[in-house]
Chain A
Amino acid sequence: MKLDGKKVIALGERDGVPGPAIAECVRSAGAEPIFVETECFV
Chain B
Amino acid sequence: MDPENQDRIKSLVDEHGADVVVVLGAADLEALEVAAETLTVGDPAYVGSLAGVQLGLPVVHILEEDIKEQVDPEIYDEQVGLLEMTLDVDQVRRAAATFPGRT
List residues of chain A with CB under 8 Å of any chain B CB: 1-13, 15-19, 21-22, 24-26, 28-31, 34-35, 37-39, 41
Contacts and interface: CB of A to CB of B under 8 A. Distances in A.
Interface residues of B, number: 39
Nearest to B84: A17
Nearest to B31: A41
Find the residue from A5, A11, A38 having the highest chain B CB count within 10 A.
A11
Binding site secondary structure of chain A: mixed
Contacts of A5: 19
B87 to A, nearest CB: 6
Given A1-B58, A25-B62, A39-B26, A9 B79 contact: no
A19 B9 CA distance: 14
